Chains A and B, each alone.
Chain A
Amino acid sequence: MDKRARRPRVLVILLVALALLSGCVTTPPAPALPPGPVAVVPARHPPQADFNVYALGKGAAAGELGGQGAATGAAAGALLPVEMGPIGIAAYPIIAPFTILAGIVVGGTIGASYGAMHGLPADQAAQVRALVDQAVNRIGVHEQVASRVVARAQALGVPASLEAQGGPGSGAEKLDYAALRPAYRGVLELAVEKLGMAARKGDPPRIALEMKLRARVVPLGEGGIAGEQQLAWSGKPHPLGAWRTGGADMLAAEFEQGYDTLAQYVWETVVAPCGAGQAKAGCAPK
């Protein structure tokens, strides 16, 4: 190709890179509540039980990780001839079936053995499931977080009220909260979507309480930015034996810590976010 013809292409590439680097590609704005009275509305549906793969038990963990390992291995096997250079590319149709097969076998075996090694034994997995059932059936998980957000707001003079009855009855329900329009400028809907006990590595294996919360902002008039934010909290992992001896008190203490932390995250990221280290109106004093 002529050198002169190549120059505009270099220029275009540089300009595109410049545009990308200088922020032409932006992420969508974070949800923000409008100034004025806010209704904090907890969801009404039970959270979904959430296990990580190891807490499912050895067999299930082996199956899950074996499948993942085989898929990763197949992808790596498909790329291997290309990485070998011109010879690999030229002979791709001959080499690729073997490398893909090898990838599936090796990846699948590693994944399955890894799952079998680190997955909980069946009796421990059953105990974890019982703990999760106990956790999911707790009443008022959403309200606990919502009431803490309201308490924090009221303590700092931000007008916020708990509207415990108006929340969504399922995870898929998207309410417009038109009935709250006369009294409020915006709605903060809080739903603990997933709740579970995750198995963490260790000898003996350790279990941690985890909660995943969705904070949805619905402006009811002018101002504010509608949107959702996902926030997750993970408690300190404890051996299964400690959970057994700690009983309901330990579970309650972990929940309290989870509620407090999630309410703090909601406050700092959605209700009163401080941008670039500068305190905005409504930000908690540092």
Chain B
Amino acid sequence: MNLPGIAMLLASLLVTGCASMPETQMARRVDPGQAPALRTGEVLIYGRILFIENGASKAPYGLGKPLWSVITRQPVVAPQADGAGPQPPRRRNIPFLSTRKDGVFAYAIPAGHYEMGGLVPFYYTPFIEPALEFDASEAGRAYCLGDLEVDYDASSWLGGLWGNYITHLNHVEVIDRCDGLAGQVLVDATAAPPAKKALLSRIYGRIPGFSGQFVPPPIHR
């Protein structure tokens, strides 16, 4: 393609909304035994993701560890870097979140009101959209999001070489086991930020389902 063509394509992408794409930030994982030192404006989120695949718990996880992301419900203004001009508000996307082998996760992220984005066992398709949100707006706190249990049917062929397909989302449930969970995450209670519950709750008007362009072939459904 020649130069005007490329310019036009870029212009069309900008006009059609790429300019308002979310801003991507990375979360800091808090490992077991590590004192969760939070930076200004950050919170600690923790909880557990438990996949039930074909009626059996998938934890402790091997290859099919949960992969998920969070994105702010509303656009937020990013803190200004030195010398940078004012930035327009954009949604904040935090991708590549996962869990430990037992399904427990703990991350330091900027405070905010988030929704859970695509959730999937690694190397599976399509993405599960659990339609869940949590409010962790008070900086300097630790928020327990609860235990998220996701029950699904899946099919694998040739040991997963032809793909691992989630064929049916059976049930999504959030269970409050925060009291037991805090001990597993916040090892040093004196160094930990004050804990609060912010259980994942269903987003008004949204129903859990799938997303992504890859749908299981008919034989798997």
Inter-subunit contact A68/B204 (CB<8 Å): no
In the assembly, what is the distance between CA of A206 and CA of B153, in Å? 11
Inter-subunit contact B170/A234 (CB<8 Å): yes
Q: Mark B125-161, 1 if CB is under 8 A from A, else 0.
A: 0000000000000000000000000010110000000
Task: Specify the main secondary structure of chain B where it touches its partner.
Answer: mixed
Inter-subunit contact A114/B219 (CB<8 Å): yes
Q: Is B180 an interface residue (CB 8 A)?
A: no
Q: From B167, which residue of chain A is reached at the shortest CB distance?
A: A201
Inter-subunit contact B9/A237 (CB<8 Å): no
Among residues 171 to 209 in chain A, which have CB atoms less than 8 Å away from a CB atom of chain B? Answer: 200-203, 205-206, 208
Q: From B206, which residue of chain A is reached at the shortest CB distance?
A: A268
Inter-subunit contact A274/B55 (CB<8 Å): no
Bin the interface of chain B by size. 20 to 34
Residues of B within 8 A of A286 (CB): 204
The number of chain A residues with a CB under 8 A from chain B is 37
Q: Mark A255-286, 1 if CB is under 8 A from B, else 0.
A: 00000000001001100011001000001101
Residues of A within 8 A of B219 (CB): 65, 68-69, 72, 107, 110-111, 114
Among residues 52 to 100 in chain A, which have CB atoms less than 8 Å away from a CB atom of chain B? Answer: 65, 68-69, 71-72
- Write the residues of chain A forming the contact surface with B, with a CB cutoff of 8 angstroms: 10-11, 14, 17-18, 21-22, 65, 68-69, 71-72, 107, 110-111, 114, 200-203, 205-206, 208, 231, 234-237, 265, 268-269, 273-274, 277, 283-284, 286
User: Can you list 18 A-B contacts with CB-CB less than 8 angstroms, sorted by A residue number?
Assistant: A14-B5, A18-B12, A69-B219, A72-B219, A200-B153, A200-B168, A201-B55, A201-B154, A208-B171, A234-B169, A237-B55, A237-B171, A265-B207, A269-B205, A273-B205, A274-B205, A277-B73, A284-B204
